[in-house]
Chains A and B, each alone.
Chain A
């Protein structure tokens, strides 16, 4: 009986493990056909614009010849779409994500965690000391070499 339970438990763990695995794997895939289909009109629009260098959306909208085509349904670019949701790769959730001394202040004010703040400060100090030591040694060696020639 304990053997059966162990076997059942093992099977269950394998099943759950593979289910979790496939769920995570799915996260890093997407339906390419759905994307291609959804953007197919825009592929045609790109071909049209490429074939008519210099043409703008205003000119397309004022053209009788193009009225009724999907080209006139295109939207203009607005600043919020450029800077907010990232058509150009700018993630909007990055507000306040900053480094260095300001980063220490961020940890202090937001995290309110003395230990974390101390670590951030020590990191900043250690980095500065390392660079100062490196440059001192570097220029001492350069100086010594030049001195030996005179």
Chain B
């Protein structure tokens, strides 16, 4: 009698382990960025993106405005043209806070704020939205502002960023979710940036989302020079 119980327990634990191992780890797709910026310039960027949450390199292969490949890894941003390294610069190491990583980790609903120096200050229901207000650790309140996140039907709806003085800095909205092989992903991200009393807009559209693909190994782990 005891053996079947042990077998069932083992089977379930192994199945649970396999299920965790088979979770989402790669995402790729096409993207289009349209931006009207503060200095009245406008940008159109089109290309493909690739991200593997274990490798943590974000690879953007742009077809417009120029044929370029941008790769972020740790605190570096690399620019390649025709496979040749043109430029390397230091950037914030923020791969884990990109929409790609957060979607794969199923953390978009709190934008990765859990386990950071942000704490939940307030949760309230507003019509069909659940709004959570996150405040930075008190010792960092002079540097960072509050962040408000709204969820609708357990999906992220919008984020509102404030600076440390409480001024509205940016709003970000996540729209038109699709199910790509079981992964929930917003195909439109609209940003409204507030600067000197004016609003500026940026819209990113994602298409042809692919999840956990086996191809393009050399792109997901784009070879970077040892510096």
Contact = CB atoms under 8 A, between A and B. Distances in A.
B97 A42 contact: no
Contacts, number: 172
B193 interface: yes
Interface residues of A, number: 59
A142 B10 contact: yes
B212 interface: no
Interface residues of B, number: 73
A58 interface: yes
B91 interface: yes
A97 B36 contact: no
B131 interface: yes
A111 B137 CA distance: 8
Interface in B144-180: 144, 148, 150, 157-158, 160-161, 168, 171, 173
A11 interface: no
A89 interface: yes
Interface in A1-37: 21, 24-25, 27-28, 30, 34-35
Given A42-B34, A43-B34, A73-B42, A89 B89 contact: no
B72 to A, nearest CB: 7
Contacts of A103: 115
A46 B32 contact: yes
Interface of A: 21, 24-25, 27-28, 30, 34-35, 38-39, 41-43, 45-46, 49, 54-58, 73-77, 79-95, 97, 99, 103, 106-107, 110-113, 116, 138, 141-142, 144-145, 148
Given A79-B91, A87-B33, 7 more contacts: A74-B42, A75-B43, A80-B89, A88-B98, A91-B161, A93-B144, A138-B13
